[in-house]
Amino acid sequence: MRLAFTLEYDGSDYSGFQSQKNTITIQDCIEDALKKITKKNIRINYSGRTDAGVHALSQVFDFETDIKRDNKNWINGINSNLPSSISVKKILRVSDDFHSRFSAIERKYTYLIYNSKHKPLFIDKYVCWVKNKLDINLMENQLKLFLGEKDFSSFKSSSCNSKNPIKTIYDVELKTSNNIIMITFVANAFLQNMVRIMIGTLIDIAKNENKMNIQDILNKKDRSFAGKTAPASGLFFLGPKYKKEHQINTCEVDIFNKLKF
C-alpha cells in the first residue's frame, strides 16, 4: 500500500528538503524517523524541493509499505522521532500510482516582507526585512504581470538545471497587515529560486532601484536584468494541489494567525 502524509517545518536550520551529502535536510530527518519505527530503509517521494532556510506549512510526502499501523500510530511514531521543528500533520492511504511530486497539478508559495525601519526582532527567521518604504500600489500592478504562461528565464537561478523555463502562474495576491506584506503565487511549477527572484525584483522596483517593469524583464530572458534573490527566511511552501481522485487536500492556512502576527 502507499501512504501519503502532510507535514510542516521551520526550515531555518536545514539545508533544504532534498537529501544531500554532509549536511542535514528535512528528507534525511523523515527517513531516519521512518527507519526507527519500521526498521527498514524507506525512500520517500515529496511534492516540493524547498531550498535551504525555506519553510513549509503543507509539504506532502509518500512511500510504499506493507506495514500495517493505524493512522494515529503512524503520525505519533514519526513525530516522536523528529526534531521539534518538523511535524507530520495528516496521513492518507492513496492509490499505487500516486506520486507527491508528479501527481501535483499546482503549487502554492507565500513570501513575507517586513517593511519597517525597526528590526523584526522576534520574527526575523520568518520574514525579509526591508527598511525602505515600499510602494504597495506599484508592487500590486507589477505583480499582476507575472500571470499566465510565460518564459521565466530571467527569474531562475544560474544553477537551475530545468530545461523548460516556461511556467504558468494561475494566481497572485498581495495582502498587508501592519508592517507585513504577504505575496502569494500559485503556479503549475516553479524554477529554482524563482519566487525569491520575483520577490527581490518587486522589492527593487518598489524602492525605485530598478526602472524596468516586470514585462520588460520577462522579455529579456536574462537573469542579469532581474533583481536580487530575496532571502530564504521569508518563503513558505503552502503545499501542492492534486486532482480530486487523490483525495489529498492541503489545507488553506491563515499564515498571519499561524505565525501570530
Round to whole Å and give the CA distance between 37 and 148: 45
3-state secondary structure of 34: helix
3-state secondary structure of 185: strand
Q: What is the DSSP letter of 209?
A: S
β-pair type (128-130, 106-115): parallel
What is the DSSP secondary-structure string of 221-256? T-GGGS-PPPPGGGEEEEEEE--GGG--------HH
- H or E stretch at 220: helix 214-220
Catalytic residue among 51, 66, 204, 254: 51
Round to whole Å and give the CA distance between 156 and 101: 20
What distance lies between CA 67 and its chain's CA centroid? Answer: 31
Q: Note whether 250 and 239 are within 8 A (CB).
A: yes
Active-site residue 135, yes or no?
no
Name the residue type at position 219: N
Query: Which residues are known to be catalytic?
Result: 51
